[in-house]
Amino acid sequence: MNPRQVFVASLRREEVPYTPIWLMRQAGRYLPEYRAVREKHSFLEMCRTPELAVEVTLQPLRRFELDAAILFSDILIPLPPMGLKLEFFESKGPQIENPVSSMKDVENLRVANARQDTGFVGEAVRMLRKELGDEKALIGFAGAPFTLASYAVEGGHSKDYAKVKKMMWNQPEAFRLLLEKITDTVIDYLKMQLEEGADAVQVFDSWIGALTPMDFKEFAFPYLKRIFEELKQYNKPTIYFGTMTSGFFNYIKELGSNAVGVDWRINIDDAWKIIGDEKAIQGNLDPMVLYADREVIRKHAKDVLDRASSFSGHVFNLGHGLTPQTPIDSVAFLVDFVHEESEKIRNSR
């Protein structure tokens, strides 16, 4: 089996010779070649120019024996076509100039058409499929409705999520309409990526941990479930990933995704016992472990592999993304160790 086949088979919980690995933010600022591109182009320009997106997507695969590439883009890319003015700043990160705060604001937003409004993403996926051939898998992605709605309301990063929670609780009809429009946009956006050649898609829910289980059930679950139900027609694996979600696992296991990504705040075998062995699990090394020496990396990575070894369908990943100062040698060591150790574990059964 080649890496593409191993990755897809793992997400389908089929027997594979080793545990596949890819890393969130594997194309990023820790790589000097990424920084070289970034010095010449703005972040949004990189996301919106297929040739640049392809180049950055492929950079980590030239260095490491990763089993999958993930499209270089950003979860907020579908928001501007909806009517939200987005800019990225080095100091503040993403900023939306016209955040929504009322039903009228939400009514003025439109549901984006993926091919008309974000066709550059489809073109990048198509180009990557050609570049990767049959050897490596390609992952597409989108932001989850609650996380995107949070950005739309907060206007950028938030420490307390006060604005979005105020709207969610005090204007539930407006907030639900916002979620509906974003959900429709995300579905079309992910369908385009699957149609252009992505082997799997991941839905990122970066801010979902701000919710209570009750609010997750009301303001996240129905919209996520609809996304995964709509994508089943493509018969390609789907992954749901959110941070600080262990309190929601009883709901998440009903979402309809093939796999669930979990962060490092719970042992992977404990997560699997709650989510159920009918789903693949992705994760879940603490990204900060890569700052430690190799013995520590080996210890923690082996613990993840050992805990996952009695289940079918493990895709090794971090519990969140690589950070800008991550040592490159540590990434190379981790990738090779996961492949070698997981093969040993299988051979010893």
Which residues are tagged catalytic? 25, 29, 38, 74, 151
Distance CA 339, CA 307 (A): 16
Q: Count of residues for the chain?
A: 349
How many C-beta atoms lie closer than 10 Å to residue 172's C-beta? 12
How many C-beta atoms lie closer than 10 Å to residue 182's C-beta? 27
Closest CA to 4 of 114, 117, 132: 132
Distance CA 275, CA 245 (A): 11
Q: Is 243 left (phi over 0), alpha (psi -120 to 50) or beta?
A: beta
- The DSSP string of 133-166 is TTTSEEEEEEE-HHHHHHHHHHSS--SS-HHHHH
Which DSSP symbol is given to 220? T
Can you point out the beta strands (E) in 220-303? Answer: 238-242, 259-261, 280-285
Dihedral sign, Cα of residue 152, residue 158, residue 41, residue 288? negative
Distance CA 274, CA 202 (A): 21
- The DSSP string of 57-113 is HHHHHHHS--SEEE----TTTTHHHHT--EEEETTTEEEESS---SHHHHHT-----
Token pair of 266, please? 């719970």
Query: Taking a C-beta distance cutoff of 8 angstroms, is the pair 256, 232 a contact?
Result: yes
Residue 176 burial (C-beta neighbours within 10 Å; 0-12, 13-18, 19+) = middle
